[in-house]
Amino acid sequence: MKPLRLLLLASGRGSHVVNLIEATRDGRILGEVVRVVSDRPKAPALTAASERGVPTAILVAAGDGARLPPDAEAQLLEIVRRDRPDLVALCGFLRLLRGSFLSQVAVPILNVHPSLLPRFRGLDAQRQAIEAGATVTGATVHYVDAGLDTGAIVMQESLEIPAGATPEGLADRLLPLEHRLYVEAIRRIQKENP
């Protein structure tokens, strides 16, 4: 099996970044994280990567909004071309990618989401689930397309929502499941594409 070169995109604290870096180092994933890229210069994910010796990059023209602006996407495409990853993994990356960008990246792009898609897409999925009265939620790893959490599902696993759950408490309960599922999904893709 060929080792994977992983490029990680992150906007926030970086728990998925740390999880995937550690998974490549402890043998759960055969490969290495070649770079962590963020749209936010002060994202803790960048610090977490640097502390572990992983190169980082900041999308300088990222601005605000749900989608990356064209200049930032062009910069990201150049990073992809230079680093030659086998897989791009979104790790709490809070931007949508345009179809024109996705069509130019010739490797799988994955995301992990804290719900059983297609239910509760987008931000605050835990709050959405609680407010909808759901008794079960879960985590989903899916391929990224130009929509909001609409790509083909790779893996899902459910988790009960206890009575009286808060969005924060549910997020804390979901995170270990998300971490495990993300690693399992990447391993599955690696085995299917030796």
pLDDT for 15-54, tens place per residue? 999 999 999 999 999 999 999 999 999 999 999 999 999 9
pLDDT at 67: 86
Tell me which of 16, 113, 142, 179 is the catalytic residue: 113
Locate CATH 3.40.50.170 in the chain.
Answer: 1-107, 112-140+154-194
Whole-angstrom Cα distance, residue 111 to residue 182? Answer: 8
pLDDT at 107 over 90: yes
Share of the chain above pLDDT 70, in %: 99
148-181 b/e (C-beta count within 10 Å ≥ 16 → b): ebebeebbbeebebeeebeeeebbebbeebbbeb
Strands 136-143 and 153-160: antiparallel
Share of the chain above pLDDT 90, in %: 86
Residue 18 is encoded by which pair of tokens?
A: 């740390």
pLDDT for 70-100, tens place per residue? 899 999 999 999 999 999 999 999 898 989 8
pLDDT at 64 over 90: no
pLDDT for 149-193, tens place per residue? 999 999 999 999 999 999 999 999 999 999 999 999 999 999 887
pLDDT at 61: 74
∠ Cα 154 115 108 (to 5°)? 30
- Residue 113 is a catalytic residue: yes
Split at pLDDT 50, 70, 90, the class of 1 is confident
pLDDT for 108-126, tens place per residue? 999 999 999 999 999 999 9
CATH architecture of 112-140+154-194: 3-Layer(aba) Sandwich (3.40)
CATH of 1-107 given 3.40.50.170, 1.20.1300.10, 3.40.640.10, 3.30.1310.10: 3.40.50.170
pTM: 0.95
Give the residue among 2, 31, 180, 9 at the shortest CA–CA distance from 111.
Answer: 9
